[in-house]
Structure 1
Amino acid sequence: MAAPWRVLMLSPFGREVARGLLAPLGDAVDVDVPETRDRAGMLAALPEAEIVVGDYTGLLAVDAEAVAAARRLAFVQMPSVGTDSLDVAALTAAGVPVANTAGANARAVAEWAVGAAFALCRQLAWGDRGVRAGGWPQRALIARGTREIHAQRVGIVGYGAIGAEAARLFGALGCAVSYWSRRRRPEAAATYRELDDLLAVSDILVLAVPLTAETTGLLDDRRLALLPDRALLVNVARGGVVSDAAVLAALESGRLAGAALDVFEEEPPAADHPLRSREDVLLSPHAAGATGQSQLNIVSAVRDNVIAAVEGRDVTNVVNGLSPQVRRR
Structure 2
Amino acid sequence: MRSTTSTTTSACRVVFLDAGTLPCGLPFEQHLDASLLVHLAYQAHERTAPAEVAARIAQAEVVVTNKVRLGAELLAQAPQLQRICIAAAGMDNVDLQAARSLGITVHNVPDYGSDSVAEHVMATLLALRRHLAEYSRAAGDGRWSASPHFCWHGPRIQPVGGSTLGIVGRGRIGQATARLAQGLGMRVLFAQRPGREAAGDERPLDDLLAQCDAVSLHVPLTPDTRGLIDARRLALMKPDAVLINTGRGALVDPHALVAALQAQRLAGAAIDVLEVEPPPPDHPLLAPGIPNLLLTPHVAWASEQAQQRLASRLAEQVAQHLRERALRAPASPPGAA
TM-score normalised by the chain length of structure 1: 0.82
Residues 87 and 213 (structure 1), Cα distance of their counterparts in 2 relative to 1, 3 Å cut? farther
For the pair 1:236 / 2:240, whether they are aligned, the reply is no
For the pair 1:245 / 2:252, whether they are aligned, the reply is no
Segment of structure 1 superposing worse, 84-93 or 298-307: 84-93
Q: Is the 8 Å Cα contact of residues 159 and 181 (structure 1) preserved in structure 2?
A: no
For the pair 1:115 / 2:148, whether they are aligned, the reply is no
Q: Is the 8 Å Cα contact of residues 34 and 41 (structure 1) preserved in structure 2?
A: no
Match of 1:61 in 2: 69
Match of 2:56 in 1: 45
For the pair 1:173 / 2:184, whether they are aligned, the reply is yes
The gaps in structure 2 that reach 5 residues or longer are 1-7, 330-337
Q: Is the 8 Å Cα contact of residues 206 and 235 (structure 1) preserved in structure 2?
A: yes
The one of 6, 13, 16 equivalent to 1:9 is 16
The one of 298, 310, 335 equivalent to 1:286 is 298
Mapped to 2, the partners of 1:40 and 1:53 lie a distance apart of: 17
Residues 151 and 82 (structure 1), Cα distance of their counterparts in 2 relative to 1, 3 Å cut? same
Residues 192 and 2 (structure 1), Cα distance of their counterparts in 2 relative to 1, 3 Å cut? farther
Mapped to 2, the partners of 1:155 and 1:301 lie a distance apart of: 31
Say which SS state the counterpart of residue 150 (structure 1) adopts.
coil
Query: How far did 1:113 drift?
Result: 0.3
The one of 161, 172, 175 equivalent to 1:164 is 175
Q: Is the 8 Å Cα contact of residues 34 and 42 (structure 1) preserved in structure 2?
A: no
Query: How far did 1:309 drift?
Result: 2.9
The one of 82, 85, 90 equivalent to 1:82 is 90
Mapped to 1, the partners of 2:201 and 2:139 lie a distance apart of: 40
Mapped to 2, the partners of 1:282 and 1:197 lie a distance apart of: 25
For the pair 1:152 / 2:146, whether they are aligned, the reply is no
Residues 231 and 270 (structure 1), Cα distance of their counterparts in 2 relative to 1, 3 Å cut? same
Query: How far did 1:216 drift?
Result: 1.4
Match of 1:130 in 2: 138
Mapped to 1, the partners of 2:301 and 2:310 lie a distance apart of: 10
Mapped to 2, the partners of 1:244 and 1:92 lie a distance apart of: 35
Match of 1:321 in 2: none
Query: How far did 1:75 drift?
Result: 1.7
Pairs aligned (count): 306
Say which SS state the counterpart of residue 32 (structure 1) adopts.
strand
Q: Is the 8 Å Cα contact of residues 35 and 41 (structure 1) preserved in structure 2?
A: no
TM-score normalised by the chain length of structure 2: 0.81
Segment of structure 1 superposing worse, 119-128 or 63-72: 63-72
Mapped to 1, the partners of 2:97 and 2:260 lie a distance apart of: 34
Query: How far did 1:140 drift?
Result: 4.4
For the pair 1:209 / 2:245, whether they are aligned, the reply is no
For the pair 1:21 / 2:28, whether they are aligned, the reply is yes
Q: Is the 8 Å Cα contact of residues 126 and 279 (structure 1) preserved in structure 2?
A: no
Match of 2:334 in 1: none
Cα deviation 1:245-295 (Å, max 9, x = unaligned): 121122234331100111112223343544332131011111111111111
Letter in 2 for 1:275: L
Mapped to 1, the partners of 2:12 and 2:203 lie a distance apart of: 47
Mapped to 2, the partners of 1:237 and 1:35 lie a distance apart of: 24
Query: How far did 1:244 drift?
Result: 0.9
| Larger gyration radius, structure 1 or structure 2 | 2
Cα deviation 1:47-84 (Å, max 9, x = unaligned): 22221110x3x3x3223332222233222111122333
Match of 1:97 in 2: 105
The one of 201, 215, 223 equivalent to 1:191 is 201
Q: Could you say what the CA RMSD is over the residues aligned between the two structures, in angstroms?
A: 3.0
